[in-house]
Amino acid sequence: MKILVTGGAGFMGSHLVDYLINEGNEVTVLDDLSGGFKDNVNKQATFMKGSINDVELVNKAVDEVDVIFHLAAYAAEGLSHFIKHFNYENNLIGSINLINAAINNNVKRFVFTSSMAVYGTNQTPFDESLTPNPEDSYGISKYAVERELAITHELFGMKYVIIRPHNVYGVRQNIGDPYRNVIGIFMNRIMQGKPPRIYGDGEQTRAFSYIDDIVPCLAKSAFIRAAEGQIINLGAAEPTNINDLAEMVLRAMGSNLKSIHTPPRHEVKHAFCTIKKSEEILGYKTKVHLMEGIQKMAEWAKRVGPRKSKVWEKYEVEKNLPSFWKVLK
């Protein structure tokens, strides 16, 4: 089967590409390498460097494709308040370009990786039946694409699946991004001799999901009839607070540093999901538990070493910007 993976040079995307190729599929990767790395891309995949904002390139990439896995996005919830135009251009308009091309090329199925950011502050654990209440520009853009896919199905018959993965971590994560993926941020700082930096009191809770548990279910979602037209949370169910997470990362990295606390930023305090639907439809099961997964990632991180943080060159909005983002180095 011919499959297009957007964001296939990134963390989750590259693991998905490996899985799909191992299953015998013909895979094309479309990625602008803004957050991913060419070395992540499976050598058996066809690689197209470029953005989902390039309509001509998107149309070329989608030509004769059977299935699209759309992972390309800049997933920084907190930062999205300060880069609104960039957020909507890349996460929403780019997605619309892809949906248009999918309609025009009669793509059989469109799998979209959304986010639990669509829930906002809501009743935990987040269930797919909850009314979305996104509180940041990133979550708003993801929810808009979800609605667009539902309407596209009604009007044009294109089959789709919406997956809401949450707090995925593991080997190949971009640890040089200082705005997202807390485990990677902690590891990169520790390797630079800097302590983990925790926003607020550290009692925020998240459920962290190891990449090897996520990818098989994500891949299968395109080929399971029961998944058609569904919204499915995908990831671990057990929440962990950030204070405990930092201690686990320090232990895995073999560091004696102590975490520091900075003023809180605007974020959802408690965010974790129900997973019954993914268990029933996709066969999800947490096989790699948190400390084991952190240890695996730490061993990889120490092999590749620290990465220079890629700092945002110009924020679109600087009012109320967290002070530590102004001085990132």
3 state DSSP class of 306: coil
The catalytic position among 74, 119, 138, 179 is 138
Amino acid at 288: V
3 state DSSP class of 271: strand
Give, in degrees to the nearest 5, the angle at Cα 103 between 102 and 104: 95
Token pair for 208? 């962290």
- Both ends of the chain: CA-CA distance in Å? 44
Closest CA to 244 of 190, 284, 208: 208
Token pair for 110? 């469109």
Amino acid at 234: L
Q: Are β-strands 205-206 and 270-271 bridged in parallel, bridged antiparallel, or unpaired?
A: parallel
Do residues 164 and 234 touch, judged by C-beta distance below 8 A?
yes
- In 23-131, alpha helices (H): 55-62, 77-80, 84-87, 94-104
Instruction: Say whether 138 is catalytic.
Output: yes
- The DSSP 8-state label assigned to residue 6 in this structure reads E
Distance CA 70, CA 73 (A): 9
Distance CA 48, CA 4 (A): 10
Distance CA 233, CA 164 (A): 5
Distance CA 123, CA 269 (A): 11
Task: Burial-class residue 129 by CB neighbours within 10 Å (0-12, 13-18, 19+).
Answer: exposed
List Cα–Cα distances, 192 to 171, 255, 286, 306, in angstroms: 19, 11, 31, 7
Could you list the active site residues? 138
